[in-house]
C-alpha cells in the first residue's frame, strides 16, 4: 500500500511533465507537418510555431456564438478535455506512471473518437449547410472506422495477451518479442490509417468548413484538441512500433534521469518519422471523401495482414 | 384499473415494494436458498415454490420493478412481465413469457413466437435427460426470444414494419434476455453444445447489425430508439451464445463474463432506452410528432429535456465511459477469450464477430449522432416545432430517475454486479463456492480472459480533472466573453431564434447521413445490382428449364418405344461393364 502511494507521489511530477510536453508539442507537430506539405508544394515554408501563435491569438480574440447554440458551447471544452484525457493515457517517454492502469486500447480510441465527435457536434450546432455537410462526412468517417478498431485490439490481445496499453508495453519490454514485432507494426499502421483523419488530403478543408462559425476561445480549444488528437494517435502507434525507447519505472522509483532523457529523445524520433509518413500520405493520397472507402479497406487490410503474419509466425517461426 | 388516479399511488407502492424486496433478496442471498418444506398439500409453500425469485431472475426482477416505478405504474405488460420473470421454473417462465408476448408485440410474428414458446416449453418438459429433444431446443428458444425482443432481419425501417418504441419494448427486451439465460443456459443442464452457441452468436450479430441499420434509416425519433433497442437485443443474443459456448466448453470465466454483461444490458442500456422513450414522448406532446425531417433546435428551445435525451443517447450509443461502451468492451474481451482451434482458421469466426461488433458500434454511433443532430441541434424546421417550450422539471422526474440508474451502473458497475453475483455464478456453473477471480470488483470491470480491466469511475474522474484544468485555464486566461448573437442583422429587426438567417431546410438533415453512407460504400449499387442480376438469372434458368421440359415431353411422346429400347441397351451395357 505504502509502496503504491510512494510510486504515485513520485510519479505525479512525471505525469505532469508528460502532459505539459504533449500540450507543448502538439501544435508544433501539426505546424511541422503543415509546413512540410506547403513547402514541398513549392509555396514557401511557414514557421513551425505559427500554429501555436494562431491558437494563442484565437484564445485572446472575442468569440462569436450563433444564436441558439448555447447548449453546444460546452462542446468545445468537453472536446479538449476528452483529448487531454486520451493524451494522459498514452505513454510518451515513460510508462508505469500513475493512472497507467486505466489505459486500455479500446478506451483510448473511444476517447479520441469522442474528441472527433465534439467537433461534429460543434459544427452541427448552428444548423448551417456547409458546416453540417462537412460534419456529416466526419461522423461518417468516425463510424466507418469503428469496424477496424476491434480487429486491431484482437491482434494486440492475441499477440501479447493483454489489451491495456501499459501491460502491452511492459510485455514487449520484457518478453522475447521477435515474432510479435511485425504484427504489432502492422496493427499500428491500421490504427494510424483508421484513426488519423489528418493524414488524408482534404482534412484541413473539411475542418475549416466545420469550424467556420466558431471563433475566439472555443475555436482555440477545438484546434488544440485536434492537434492533441493527432499527437496521441502518432504516439500510440509509435509506442506499438518501437516500445524499446520508453523509460520504465522500477518498483516505486521513477526512471533514472538519463533513461528519461533517452525516452524523450526516442519519442521525438518516433514522432518525426511518423510526421514524415504523414506528410507523404497527405501529398500522395486521394481526397477525404473519395478516400473513405479506400481508407477503410486499407486499414482492414493492415489489420488482417497483422493477424495472418501473427499466425504465420506461430506456425513457421 | 391503474388508469384511475386513486389506483396509481397503490400501483407505484407495489412496484416500490417489489424493488425493495428484490434488493433485500440481493443483499441477503441466504433468503433465496432457504429450502422449502415439502408438504403434501398445495399451500403457501407450493405458491412460494412457483413464485420463487432465484439468483438468475433477480437482476431482471429489479430492472422491471424500476421500469414499472418509472413508467407511472400504468403498464399491465410490465406487471405480467415481472410475474413471469419471478418464476424460477423454466417451463412456467416460458408459459408466462408467451402470455406477455401479445401484450408487448403485435403483428404476424406473435403467432410464431407463441408457437415457438409452446414448443420450447414442451421440449423442456421432458427434463434434463431429454435426449434429442433438448438438442433442438435452441431453435424455438431463439425464435421466441427474437419475437419477444422485436428483432428482425429487415435492414430498413419502414413505418409499416417497425413500430415506435414504447415502455413495453423494454419489458420485452428484459424478458428476452432472461429467456435466453433461463432456457439455454440454466434449463438443459449443459446439454446444448458449443456449436449451438456459435450459431446463436452469429444470428445475434446479424440481428444486431440489422437493428443498427434500422436505427440509422428510421424516419422518426421513436423508431430510431426501437432500432437501437433491437441492435442491443441482437448483442444480448450474441452474449447468450457466448455464455452457451463457455458452459459447453467448460470455460466458467467466459460464461461468467458473458452473463455479467447480459446483466449490465438491461440495467444500463434498458434504463437509458426507457429514459429516452419517456423523454421523447414528453417532448412530442410539446413539439409535435418528432419526425426527424421536421424538427430541430430542441436543445435551445427545451434545454432540460434536450440534455436528458442527449445523455440517454450517449449511453445507448456506447460513448466512453458509459454503460453502452462498457458492454461493448466486455463483449470484445469475451470474444478474445473464446476457445480457439489451432491456426488461423480457428481464429476467423471470432475475428468476424469482432469486426461485426465494430460495425454495430459504428451504426449505433451514427444513428445516435443523426438523431441528436436533427432533433436537438441546428434550427427548427417547422413553426410548430419552433413554438415548443421546455418541460417542467416534474415531468422529467421519471426519465431522470431512469437515467440516474443507467448513469450509476455506468460509473459504478461494481455494486450492480455485486447484487447480481449469485446469478453470474449460476450461469458459470460455479455454485456458491466461487473462486476469488470470479468475485466482482466494486470499482472496475474485469475481462473474461484476464486480458484487461476497465475503470469507468477512474476514467470519469480523469475526464473531470481534465475538464477542470480546461475551465481553470480559460478563467485564468481572462479572455473576453462570447457574444451570444450573430452580428448579421445589419440594421434589420432581430430575427426569430429559429431563423437567424437563411432557410432552415438547408441544414444537414436526416437523409444526408444515409445518403452519404450509401454514396461512400455504394450499398444501393451493391444490393440492387447483384439482386437484379440474380432475379434475371433465376427467370432465365426457369425459362430454359420450362423449354427443356417441353422438348423432353414432346420427344418422349414421339419416340417412347425407341427410348425404352435405348434404356434397356444402356442398362445391359452398364451391367456387363460392372462384371
pLDDT digits (tens, 9 = 90+) for A273-291: 999 888 887 776 655 555 6
pLDDT the model gives residue B249? 84
CA neighbours closer than 13 Å in the CB half-sphere of residue B390: 15
pLDDT the model gives residue B131? 63
ipTM of the complex: 0.90
SS3 content of chain B, % helix, strand, coil (to 5): 70, 0, 30
- Give the residue-averaged pLDDT of A238-263: 83
- ω before B322 within 30° of 0 (cis)? no
pLDDT band at A251 (very low <50, low <70, confident <90, very high): low
Q: Are A131 and A122 in contact (CB under 8 A)?
A: no
> Alpha-carbon distance B56 to B22, whole Å?
12
User: What residues of A are in contact with residue B522 (Cβ under 8 Å)?
Assistant: 293
Sign of CA dihedral A71, A76, A81, A82: positive
Letter string b/e over residues A145-162, b meaning 16 or more CB atoms within 10 A of that residue's CB: bbbbbbbbbbbbbbbbbb
pLDDT the model gives residue A66? 66
CB-neighbour burial class of residue B131 (10 A; exposed 0-12, middle 13-18, buried 19+): exposed
Tell me the average pLDDT of chain B. Answer: 80
- Give the residue-averaged pLDDT of B239-258: 88
pLDDT the model gives residue B499? 54
Measured in angstroms, the CA of A200 and the nearest CA of chain B are apart by 15
Question: B75 or B444, which is more confident?
Answer: B444
| pLDDT higher than 80, residue B39 | no
Say if the Cβ atoms of A311 and B344 lie within 8 Å.
Answer: yes
Q: What is the DSSP string of B466-527?
A: HHHHHHHHHHHHTPPPPBSS-S--TTSPPPPTT-SSS-GGGS--HHHHHHHHHHHHTHHHHH
pLDDT the model gives residue B230? 94
> Alpha-carbon distance B444 to B453, whole Å?
7
> Alpha-carbon distance A233 to A115, whole Å?
12
Say if the Cβ atoms of A293 and B520 lie within 8 Å.
Answer: yes
Return the domain boundaries, chain A. 2-316
Q: Which of A180-184, A199-203, B195-199, B309-313 is modeled with the greatest confidence?
A: B309-313
Say if the Cβ atoms of B508 and A162 lie within 8 Å.
Answer: no
CB-neighbour burial class of residue A95 (10 A; exposed 0-12, middle 13-18, buried 19+): buried
**Digit-coded pLDDT (tens) for B9-36:** 777 777 777 777 777 777 766 555 555 4
Cα-flanking dihedrals φ and ψ of residue B51, to 5°?
-100, 75
- Give the residue-averaged pLDDT of B437-453: 79
Enter the DSSP assignment of A67. Answer: T
**Digit-coded pLDDT (tens) for B267-303:** 999 999 999 999 999 999 888 888 888 888 888 888 8
| pLDDT higher than 50, residue B256 | yes
Facing residue for B508 by CB, picked from A136, A147, A161: A136
> Alpha-carbon distance A72 to A65, whole Å?
10
| pLDDT higher than 50, residue B490 | no
Say if the Cβ atoms of A151 and B354 lie within 8 Å.
Answer: yes
* Nearest C-alpha neighbor of A82 from the set B469, B324, B313: B469
> Alpha-carbon distance B84 to B87, whole Å?
6
- Give the residue-averaged pLDDT of B493-509: 61
pLDDT band at B491 (very low <50, low <70, confident <90, very high): very low
Q: Which three cell numbers stand for residue B354?
A: 469482432
Least confident segment among A105-119, B137-151, B285-299, B420-434:
B420-434
Question: B161 or A49, which is more confident?
Answer: A49
Q: Are A134 and A287 in contact (CB under 8 A)?
A: no
**Digit-coded pLDDT (tens) for B164-203:** 888 888 888 998 998 888 877 776 655 677 888 889 999 9
pLDDT the model gives residue B360? 95
User: What residues of B are in contact with residue A89 (Cβ under 8 Å)?
Assistant: 462
| pLDDT > 70 fraction of chain A, expressed in percent and rounded | 89
Say if the Cβ atoms of B351 and A307 lie within 8 Å.
Answer: yes
The residue to which cell 468492451 is assigned: B329
Of A59, A86, A125, A146, which to mutate for an interface test with B (greatest number of B Cβ within 10 Å)? Answer: A146
User: Does residue B398 belong to the interface with chain A, where contact is any CB pair within 8 Å?
Assistant: no
Tell me the average pLDDT of chain A. Answer: 84
Amino acid at each position: 500500500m505504502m509502496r503504491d502511494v510512494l510510486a504515485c507521489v513520485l510519479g505525479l511530477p512525471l505525469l505532469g511533465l508528460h502532459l505539459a510536453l504533449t500540450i507543448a508539442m502538439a501544435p508544433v507537430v501539426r505546424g511541422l507537418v503543415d509546413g512540410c506539405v506547403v513547402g514541398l508544394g513549392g509555396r514557401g515554408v511557414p514557421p513551425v510555431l505559427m500554429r501555436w501563435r494562431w491558437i494563442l491569438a484565437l484564445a485572446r480574440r472575442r468569440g462569436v456564438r450563433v444564436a441558439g447554440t448555447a447548449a453546444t458551447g460546452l462542446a468545445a471544452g468537453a472536446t479538449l478535455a476528452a483529448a487531454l484525457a486520451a493524451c494522459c493515457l498514452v505513454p510518451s517517454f515513460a510508462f508505469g506512471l500513475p493512472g497507467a492502469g486505466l489505459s486500455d486500447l479500446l478506451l483510448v480510441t473511444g476517447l479520441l473518437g469522442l474528441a472527433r465527435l465534439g467537433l461534429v457536434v460543434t459544427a452541427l450546432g448552428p444548423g448551417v449547410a456547409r458546416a453540417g455537410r462537412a460534419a456529416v462526412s466526419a461522423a461518417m468517417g468516425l463510424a466507418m472506422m469503428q469496424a477496424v478498431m476491434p480487429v486491431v485490439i484482437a491482434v494486440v490481445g492475441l499477440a501479447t495477451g493483454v489489451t491495456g496499453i501499459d501491460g502491452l508495453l511492459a510485455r514487449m519490454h520484457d518478453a522475447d518479442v521477435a515474432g510479435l514485432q511485425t504484427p504489432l507494426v502492422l496493427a499500428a499502421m491500421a490504427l494510424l490509417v483508421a484513426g488519423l483523419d489528418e493524414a488524408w488530403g482534404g482534412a484541413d478543408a473539411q475542418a475549416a468548413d466545420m469550424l467556420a462559425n466558431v471563433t475566439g476561445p472555443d475555436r482555440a480549444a477545438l484546434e488544440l484538441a485536434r492537434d492533441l488528437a493527432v499527437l496521441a494517435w502518432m504516439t500510440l502507434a509509435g509506442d506499438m512500433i518501437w516500445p524499446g525507447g520508453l523509460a520504465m519505472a522500477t518498483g516505486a522509483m521513477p526512471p533514472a534521469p538519463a533513461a528519461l532523457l533517452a525516452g524523450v529523445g526516442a519519442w521525438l524520433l518516433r514522432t518525426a518519422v511518423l510526421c514524415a509518413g504523414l506528410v507523404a500520405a497527405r501529398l500522395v493520397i486521394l481526397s477525404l471523401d473519395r478516400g473513405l472507402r479506400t481508407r477503410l479497406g486499407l486499414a482492414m487490410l493492415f489489420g488482417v495482414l497483422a493477424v495472418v503474419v501473427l499466425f504465420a509466425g506461430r506456425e513457421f517461426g | 384499473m391503474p388508469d384511475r388516479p386513486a389506483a396509481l399511488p397503490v400501483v407505484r407502492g407495489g412496484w416500490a415494494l417489489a424493488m425493495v424486496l428484490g434488493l433485500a433478496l440481493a443483499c441477503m442471498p441466504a433468503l433465496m436458498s432457504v429450502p422449502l418444506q415439502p408438504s403434501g398439500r398445495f399451500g403457501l409453500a407450493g405458491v412460494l415454490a412457483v413464485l420463487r425469485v432465484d439468483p438468475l431472475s433477480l437482476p431482471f426482477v429489479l430492472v422491471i420493478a424500476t421500469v414499472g416505478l418509472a413508467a407511472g405504474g400504468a403498464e399491465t405488460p410490465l406487471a405480467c412481465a415481472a410475474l413471469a420473470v419471478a418464476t424460477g421454473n423454466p417451463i412456467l417462465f416460458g408459459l408466462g413469457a408467451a402470455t406477455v408476448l401479445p401484450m408487448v408485440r403485435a403483428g404476424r410474428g406473435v403467432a410464431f413466437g407463441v408457437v415457438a414458446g409452446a414448443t420450447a416449453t414442451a421440449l423442456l418438459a421432458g427434463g434434463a435427460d431429454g435426449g434429442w429433444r433438448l438438442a433442438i431446443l435452441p431453435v424455438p428458444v431463439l425464435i421466441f426470444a427474437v419475437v419477444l425482443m422485436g428483432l428482425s432481419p429487415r435492414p430498413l425501417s419502414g413505418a409499416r414494419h417497425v413500430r415506435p418504441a414504447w415502455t413495453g419494448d423494454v419489458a420485452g427486451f428484459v424478458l428476452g434476455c432472461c429467456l435466453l439465460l433461463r432456457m439455454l443456459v440454466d434449463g438443459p443442464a449443459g446439454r446444448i453444445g458449443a456449436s449451438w452457441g456459435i450459431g446463436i452468436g452469429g444470428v445475434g450479430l446479424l440481428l444486431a447489425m440489422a437493428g443498427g441499420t434500422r436505427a440509422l434509416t428510421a424516419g422518426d425519433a421513436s423508431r430510431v430508439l426501437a432500432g437501437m433497442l433491437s441492435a442491443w437485443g441482437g448483442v444480448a443474443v450474441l452474449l447468450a451464445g457466448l455464455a452457451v459456448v463457455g458452459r459447453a466448453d467448460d470455460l466458467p470465466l467466459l460464461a461468467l463474463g458473458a452473463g455479467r454483461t447480459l446483466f449490465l444490458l438491461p440495467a444500463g442500456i434498458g434504463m437509458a432506452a426507457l429514459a429516452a422513450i419517456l423523454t421523447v414522448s414528453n417532448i412530442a406532446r410539446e413539439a409535435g410528432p418528432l419526425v426527424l425531417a421536421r424538427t430541430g433546435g430542441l436543445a435551445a428551445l427545451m434545454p432540460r429535456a434536450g440534455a436528458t435525451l442527449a445523455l440517454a443517447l450517449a449511453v445507448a450509443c456506447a460513448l466512453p465511459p458509459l454503460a453502452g461502451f462498457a458492454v461493448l468492451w466486455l463483449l470484445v474481451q469475451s470474444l478474445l477469450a473464446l476457445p480457439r482451434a489451432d491456426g488461423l482458421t480457428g481464429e476467423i469466426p471470432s475475428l468476424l464477430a469482432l469486426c461485426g461488433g465494430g460495425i454495430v458500434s459504428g451504426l449505433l454511433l451514427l444513428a445516435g449522432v443523426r438523431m441528436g443532430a436533427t432533433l436537438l441541434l441546428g434550427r427548427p424546421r417547422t413553426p410548430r416545432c419552433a413554438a415548443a417550450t421546455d418541460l417542467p422539471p416534474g415531468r422529467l422526474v421519471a426519465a431522470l430517475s431512469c437515467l440516474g440508474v443507467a448513469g450509476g451502473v455506468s460509473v459504478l458497475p461494481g455494486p450492480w454486479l455485486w447484487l447480481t453475483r449469485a446469478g453470474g455464478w449460476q450461469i458459470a456453473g460455479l455454485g456458491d463456492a466461487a473462486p476469488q477471480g470470479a468475485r466482482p470488483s466494486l470499482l472496475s470491470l474485469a475481462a473474461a480472459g484476464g486480458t484487461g480491466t476497465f475503470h469507468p469511475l477512474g476514467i470519469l474522474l480523469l475526464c473531470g480533472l481534465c475538464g477542470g484544468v480546461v475551465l481553470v485555464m480559460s478563467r485564468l486566461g481572462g479572455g473576453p466573453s462570447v457574444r451570444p448573437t450573430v452580428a448579421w442583422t445589419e440594421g434589420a429587426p432581430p430575427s426569430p431564434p429559429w431563423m437567424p438567417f437563411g432557410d432552415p431546410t438547408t441544414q444537414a438533415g436526416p437523409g444526408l447521413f444515409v445518403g452519404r453512407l450509401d454514396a461512400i460504400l455504394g450499398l444501393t449499387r451493391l444490393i440492387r445490382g447483384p439482386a437484379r442480376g440474380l432475379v434475371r438469372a433465376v427467370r432465365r434458368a426457369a425459362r430454359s428449364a420450362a423449354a427443356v421440359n417441353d422438348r423432353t415431353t414432346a420427344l418422349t411422346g414421339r419416340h417412347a418405344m425407341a427410348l425404352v429400347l435405348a434404356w434397356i441397351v444402356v442398362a445391359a451395357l452398364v451391367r456387363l461393364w460392372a462384371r
